[in-house]
Amino acid sequence: MYRSDAFFIAEVNRELAKRPASAQKILLFMNGYNNTTSEAILRLSQFVEDTYYQGVPVLFS
């Protein structure tokens, strides 16, 4: 949980700035209604690992 929208945006921008221009992308993963947050974290982590995703993964749960 973030203190405010502005803080969340600043954190995402900070993470994007760490990456080369070709990897400055965001993956927004939407948690389904019939899944727990823990399951969503696991699925997103597995996707990032399996695909070698270099951008910033963001979980919306």
pLDDT tens readout for residues 8-58:
999 999 999 999 999 999 999 998 888 899 999 999 999 999 999 999 999
The residues spanned by each domain of the chain are 24-61
Structure pTM?
A: 0.83
Tokens found for residue 40: 């969503």
Q: Residue 38: what residue type?
A: S
Tokens found for residue 53: 């995703």
Q: What pLDDT sits at residue 57?
A: 97
Q: For residues 30 and 34, what is the distance between their CA atoms, to the nearest angstrom? A: 12
Longest dimension (CA), the chain: 36
Q: What pLDDT sits at residue 47?
A: 96
